[in-house]
Amino acid sequence: MSVAEAPVARAVVRGSVRGARVREALFRAALLLCIGFAMLALAVLLADVAVDGLPVLSLDFLTSFPSQVFPERSGIQSALVGTLLLMVVCAVFIVPVGTATAIYLEEYADRDRWWNRLIEVNVQNLVAVPSIVYGILGLAFLVRGPLELGRVLLAGALTLGLLVLPVVIIVGREAIRAVPSSIREGSLALGATQWQTIWKQILPGALPGIATGVILALSRAIGETAPLIVVGAAAFARFNPNDLTNDPFSALPIQILAWVQAPQEEFRVLAAGAILVLLALLLVMNAGAIHLRNRYEQRW
Amino acid sequence: MAARPEAATAPGGPRPSLVRGRTRRSVGEHVIKGLLLAAAVLSVATTVGIVVSLLGETIEFFGQVSVGEYLLGTKWTPLSSGEQQSFGVIPLITGTLYLTALGLIVAVPLGLGSAIYLAEYASPRARRVIKPVLEILAGIPTIVLGYFALTFITPVVLQGIFGIDVQIFNALSAGLALGVLILPVVATLADDALRAVPEALREGAFGIGASRRQVVLRVVFPAALSGIVAALVLAASRAIGETVVVLVAGGASANLGIDPRESYQNMAAFIAQTARGDIAVRSVEFLTIFAVGTTLFVMTLILNAISIRFVRRFQQVYE
Amino acid sequence: MGRDDGKDGTMRQVTEPEKERAQAPPPDAVASGGRPRMLAPELGHAAVSGARHATADAGAGEREPLFEIEHLTVRYGGRPAVNDASLDVAERQITALIGASGCGKSTFIRALNRMNDLIPTATVEGTVRYHGQDLYAPEVDPVLVRKRIGMVFQKPNPFPKSIYDNVAFGPRVLGMEGELDGIVERALRRGALWDEVKDRLKHNAFGMSGGQQQRLCIARALATDPDVLLMDEPASALDPISTARIEDLMFELKERVSIVIVTHNMQQAARVSDMTAFFTVNVDETGHRYGEVVEYDETEKVFTNPSDPRTEAYVTGRVG
């Protein structure tokens, strides 16, 4: 055999064939262990929460208000209502703004202009900013500062909205980009204006993708704790917020945090129960997103 | 067939004008474009807002605390009174880095191992099971991980199984939870990077008789390196900014040491804790929120820039 | 043969022999800066409707051509795709553009309804006049242009909507809500599709075969009653039977709609068109390919007795 082939052949023959197989098997086993750890961690985590929290779940738990004195009479009504309201208000904010930004960047912006490139780079940077910094932003501009809303639900919802807006923009852009240009060209060739093309052809085609992105963004938003801490969501609220711009508000992550950090064991168990409710909510939302994607995904 | 009257070529025949007019429709088009641009500008406004909100108060902070004391001091006790009050941020920074390092020690090998298995060994059916597990793990809210760390990892795993004498709030527990938190980030992004390596490279290596392990370690992994590094940098950035896990499981005091059994605090957890507390809004104690916030923001910005550069390089190789 | 054979191979052509046969020789045919108007080619065609050039304007002035294209050069990112093309297109005819791939035929035809505007790196030099109006004048609205000059693309691109909504899209966008049903039916009849789909107008367009989809796209383009229909290789993605049906369709349509068709299928050009322009592919120093019009004449002449050797090489199959 040639000189070049010899080392390879030698390498193949080197060591016993069994030794090589052992090395392969060991490597593969090590990799499987890694995956196994991840799956184990998830399983143990869910089991721990379930074991602690399931006994606490009841209709009373969902409908009572939390008490700082009586854990056995505590519930998550204010926190759950707060979380749901946050989700709705956040959606009202991010859907138009995120979609509009995505449309602008994909359909109108001329890439050669520096300000359009700036907007693009900006969105990418915002994704990497820690959520607590968004909390500070909300504190400075929404709670205090120019808008001076105070520690109210609207401030919380807008803060969360700013946090997840880049997600909506990025997913929205992908969905719009997925619409083939032949549709765009066909519409324009018929004498439709740019906006008519977008409104009647492109947006309807991109809608399932955008909706999926919005749901994912919202599920990220309602799981966040840090921004709500800084913006001043309350724990142990014994009422639901009626005025979104004036009343204090609570949220599930904040209430969970308060219970986790309570010294008494009885309160910590309540945290587990609230966690289960939060996880269930997230499960429903993500299942909805997957269903939406499978049912309405446009196959071009 | 009779000739259509319009076909007559007499110039000036009735032919609709092609000239752009100030129709309602064209004005509407411009208005729409303006509205869309305004929405897009909001994202820029957010960044500007972050910078402004941080900067103003940070400057005011440095009116009361010298930059030297802040950046070089090794005692962080802003809430103590009188002589004990000190504003050296280094313990917060070391705490942040330490906890991040612990998290990476867990997440990097396990995450990369998972990614390699997913990309190079797993059957399509296995992928369909494992990928969702990683996605679910990625979607777990951080407060849940904090709960898990405090109520399970510390008492059951560390004290129980391993018998380590840890404090209730300790770096080991928080670091482990951080590791579980960022593991899916590492795994998913590294998986993407590995799958982007063209099949032709693998085939060439297999063709000269290399085993799968050798192909993966010597050919595929190095080829995907810049994408993998980008993934690691992103994961580190995530851990650096993590608040609630550290707040719940790590403790409430800044610590300059490296004993994992003690309690530690990072920048984000400090900010959260201080914002929660009952502190006078104009006081220097409150202003620490913004100074530390700026420090954290700058750190993640730098990391993000590094990661983007790696991603760009990684994309270029295969375009 | 008064052919203005520029050294750079650009095309100047036509009709000098036919000029003698013309009923109404344009007063300034040659005096107008050396470019003969092309009128009389219509006369050579038996298929031509007699009414068209029982033109009452015999002697009352020339027939205005549909398009007058002068020195058209389209570049993408500075590099030309079509270089210095000039020709006149007549009304109520089928004009074919042929040539090997990469010779800029598609780019050329897209310049006629401002579709190249959609490509950011595209620049257009030269003039394109439509019924005397400069299409690229700054005050011209491309949207209005495309309402009058329709386009059918190579790959059928129906919208993911019902057949009815596909055809109704153009009229709706124009604001013609009122008689949509009638408009849709007329368009589908003109597109030779009505009988096949009249019972399933609400069905999704994606459920049709390729040939039907393309006829739908033609009907869709006709729904706005355009003056011109540009067709960019409309049958190249279709089977021979569908192709034949579309060719028949074009004959019926040309009585009301002027058609310009790009095709790489020479037999098709020979079958359907009245006039044919041949584009040749040049390669510049950097290896970049671009196209130039080399010959433009009556179809019969181009295919049986071409003037330029390059045309001959192409139509006889020696090249391309």
Beta strands C67-76; C79-89: pairing state:
antiparallel
B-chain residue closest to C145, CA distance: B18
Strongest mean pLDDT among A279-283, C113-117, C209-213: A279-283
Same domain, A236 and A261: yes
Q: Give the pLDDT confidence score for residue B73 in this predicted structure.
A: 87
Record the tokens describing residue C314, joined without a space.
């192409």
Q: Give the pLDDT confidence score for residue B306 in this predicted structure.
A: 85
pLDDT of residue B16 exceeding 70, the answer is no
Give, as one character, the DSSP assignment of residue C35.
Answer: -
| Strand, coil or helix: C294 | strand
Domain holding A37, by residue range, is 5-56
Q: Which of residues 82-121 of C touch A (CB under 8 A)?
A: 113, 115, 118, 120
Same domain, A49 and A188: no
pLDDT of residue B245 exceeding 60, the answer is yes
Q: Give the pLDDT confidence score for residue C120 in this predicted structure.
A: 81
In the structure, what pLDDT confidence band is assigned to residue A246 with cuts at 50, 70 and 90? Answer: confident
Q: Give the pLDDT confidence score for residue C48 in this predicted structure.
A: 34
With an 8 Å Cβ cutoff, are B3 and C256 in contact? no
Q: Rounded distance, CA A282 to CA C176, Å?
A: 47
Q: Which of residues 20-39 of B touch C (CB under 8 A)?
A: 20-21, 26
With an 8 Å Cβ cutoff, are A188 and C146 in contact? yes
The residue count for chain B = 319
Find which of C173, C222, C228, C230 to mutate to test the A interface (most A CBs within 10 Å of its CB). Answer: C173
Q: Which residues on chain A are in Cβ contact (under 8 Å) with C162?
A: none
Which CATH architecture fits B94-316? Orthogonal Bundle (1.10)
Q: Which of A17-26, A43-52, B111-120, B149-158 has the lowest mean pLDDT?
A: A17-26
Per-residue pLDDT of B77-130, as tens digits, reads 888 877 878 888 999 999 999 999 999 999 999 999 999 999 999 999 999 999
Same domain, A137 and A212: yes
Strongest mean pLDDT among B6-10, C213-217, C310-314: C213-217
Q: Rounded distance, CA A200 to CA B314, Å?
A: 38
With an 8 Å Cβ cutoff, are A183 and C157 in contact? yes
Q: Which residue has the higher pLDDT, A277 or A19?
A: A277
B-chain residue closest to A257, CA distance: B143
Q: Rounded distance, CA B308 to CA B17, Å?
A: 51
Q: Give the pLDDT confidence score for residue B56 in this predicted structure.
A: 87
pLDDT of residue C53 exceeding 50, the answer is no
Q: Which residues on chain C are in Cβ contact (under 8 Å) with A185?
A: 115, 118, 153, 157
Q: Rounded distance, CA C252 to CA A81, Å?
A: 67
Q: Give the pLDDT confidence score for residue C21 in this predicted structure.
A: 39
Mean pLDDT throughout A245-250?
90
Helices (H), ranges, A178-251: 181-189, 194-197, 203-222, 226-231
Helices (H), ranges, B149-255: 171-195, 199-207, 212-215, 221-223, 225-240, 244-249
- Sign of the Cα torsion C143, C146, C147, C148 reads positive
Name the residue among A180, A182, A191 with its Cβ closest to that of C143.
A191
What pTM value is reported for the model? 0.81
Q: Give the pLDDT confidence score for residue B77 in this predicted structure.
A: 87
Mean pLDDT throughout A58-85?
91
A201 touches chain C (CB under 8 A): yes
Least Cα separation, residue A228 to chain B (angstroms): 9
Find which of A182, A190, A201 to mutate to test the C interface (most C CBs within 10 Å of its CB). Answer: A190
Per-residue pLDDT of A130-144, as tens digits, reads 999 999 999 988 988
With a CB cutoff of 8 Å and minimum separation 6, the contacts of B46 are: A126, A137, A162, A165
CB pairs under 8 A between B and C: 50
Please give the mean pLDDT across all residues of chain C: 79
Beta strands C122-130; C67-76: pairing state:
antiparallel
Please give the mean pLDDT across all residues of chain B: 86
Q: Give the pLDDT confidence score for residue C12 in this predicted structure.
A: 38
In the structure, what pLDDT confidence band is assigned to residue B22 with cuts at 50, 70 and 90? Answer: low
Beta strands C228-232; C149-152: pairing state:
parallel
pLDDT of residue A163 exceeding 90, the answer is yes
Q: Rounded distance, CA A246 to CA C107, Å?
A: 61
Nearest to A162 by CA among A103, A106, A93, A115: A93
Share of chain A above pLDDT 90, in %: 65
Per-residue pLDDT of C4-45, as tens digits, reads 333 333 333 333 344 333 444 444 333 333 333 333 333 333
With a CB cutoff of 8 Å and minimum separation 6, the contacts of B17 are: C144
Q: Give the pLDDT confidence score for residue B23 in this predicted structure.
A: 66
Q: Which residue has the higher pLDDT, C18 or A225?
A: A225
Q: Give the pLDDT confidence score for residue C36 in this predicted structure.
A: 35
Q: Give the pLDDT confidence score for residue C44 in this predicted structure.
A: 36
Per-residue pLDDT of A6-21, as tens digits, reads 454 444 455 567 778 8
Q: Which residue has the higher pLDDT, C317 or C137?
A: C137
Same domain, A47 and A79: no
Q: Which residues on chain B are in Cβ contact (under 8 Å) with A118?
A: 44
With an 8 Å Cβ cutoff, are A165 and B46 in contact? yes
Nearest to B286 by CA among C17, A140, A159, A200: A140
Q: Give the pLDDT confidence score for residue A14 in this predicted structure.
A: 55
Q: So what's the ipTM on this one? A: 0.89
The amino acid at C135: L
Helix (H), strand (E) at residue C298: strand C289-298
Share of chain B above pLDDT 90, in %: 47
The answer to whether C141 and B19 have CB atoms below 8 angstroms apart is: yes
Sorted by where each begins, the domain ranges of chain B are 30-82, 94-316
Rg for chain A, CA atoms, rounded: 26
The answer to whether C272 and C94 have CB atoms below 8 angstroms apart is: yes
Q: Which of A153-157, B165-169, C168-172 has the lowest mean pLDDT?
A: B165-169
Q: Give the pLDDT confidence score for residue C47 in this predicted structure.
A: 34
Find which of A10, A35, A101, A278 to mutate to test the B interface (most B CBs within 10 Å of its CB). Answer: A35
Q: Rounded distance, CA C137 to CA C135, Å?
A: 6
Helices C210-222 and A181-189: crossing angle, nearest 10°? 30
C-alpha torsion C81→C83→C88→C94, nearest 10: -30
Mean pLDDT throughout B213-220?
90
- The set of chains that have 3 or more CB pairs under 8 A with B is A, C
Q: What is the DSSP string of A272-294?
A: HHHHHHHHHHHHHHHHHHHHHHH
Per-residue pLDDT of B247-280, as tens digits, reads 999 988 888 888 888 899 999 999 999 998 877 7
User: Which residues does residue C79 pair with via DSSP β-bridges, in sequence order?
Assistant: C76
Mean pLDDT throughout C89-96?
92
Strands (E), chain B: 76-77, 86-87
Q: In what order do the strands lie in the sheet with C228-232?
A: C133-134, C122-130, C67-76, C79-89, C289-298, C275-283, C94-99, C258-262, C228-232, C149-152
Same domain, A16 and A91: no
Q: Give the pLDDT confidence score for residue B278 in this predicted structure.
A: 75
Q: Give the pLDDT confidence score for residue B315 in this predicted structure.
A: 63
Which residues in C have their CB inside 8 Å of a CB on B? 49, 51-52, 54-57, 60-64, 91-92, 130-133, 135, 139-141, 144-145, 148, 255-256
- How distant, in Å, are the alpha carbons of A36, B183, B224 from that of B310? 29, 20, 11
Q: Give the pLDDT confidence score for residue C284 in this predicted structure.
A: 84
Q: Which residues on chain B are in Cβ contact (under 8 Å) with A194?
A: 29
Mean pLDDT throughout A73-89?
94
Give, as one character, the DSSP assignment of residue A3.
Answer: T
Q: Which residues on chain A are in Cβ contact (under 8 Å) with C221?
A: 189-190
Per-residue pLDDT of A170-210, as tens digits, reads 999 999 999 999 999 999 999 899 999 999 999 999 999 99
Same domain, A157 and A127: yes
Q: Which of residues 54-93 of A touch B (CB under 8 A)?
A: none
Count of alpha carbons within 13 angstroms of residue B128, beta-carbon side: 3
- Sign of the Cα torsion C48, C52, C54, C60 reads negative
Q: Which residues on chain C are in Cβ contact (under 8 Å) with B1?
A: 49, 51, 255
Least Cα separation, residue A78 to chain C (angstroms): 45
pLDDT of residue C140 exceeding 80, the answer is yes
What is the number of structural domains in chain A?
2
Record the tokens describing residue A192, joined without a space.
């439709």
Give, as one character, the DSSP assignment of residue C40.
Answer: G
Q: Which of residues 93-112 of A touch B (CB under 8 A)?
A: 96-97, 100-101, 103-105, 108-109
With a CB cutoff of 8 Å and minimum separation 6, the contacts of C40 are: C15, C18, C19, C21, C22, C23
pLDDT of residue B203 exceeding 70, the answer is yes
Same domain, A66 and A49: no
Q: Which residues on chain B are in Cβ contact (under 8 Å) with C57?
A: 8-10
Record the tokens describing residue C203, joined without a space.
């069905």
Mean pLDDT throughout B224-234?
90
The residue count for chain A = 300
With an 8 Å Cβ cutoff, are A35 and B112 in contact? no
Q: Give the pLDDT confidence score for residue A295 in this predicted structure.
A: 85
Beta strands B76-77; C258-262: pairing state:
unpaired
Mean pLDDT throughout C43-48?
36
Name the residue among C118, C144, C155 with its Cβ closest to that of A188.
C118
Q: Rounded distance, CA C128 to CA C67, Å?
A: 7
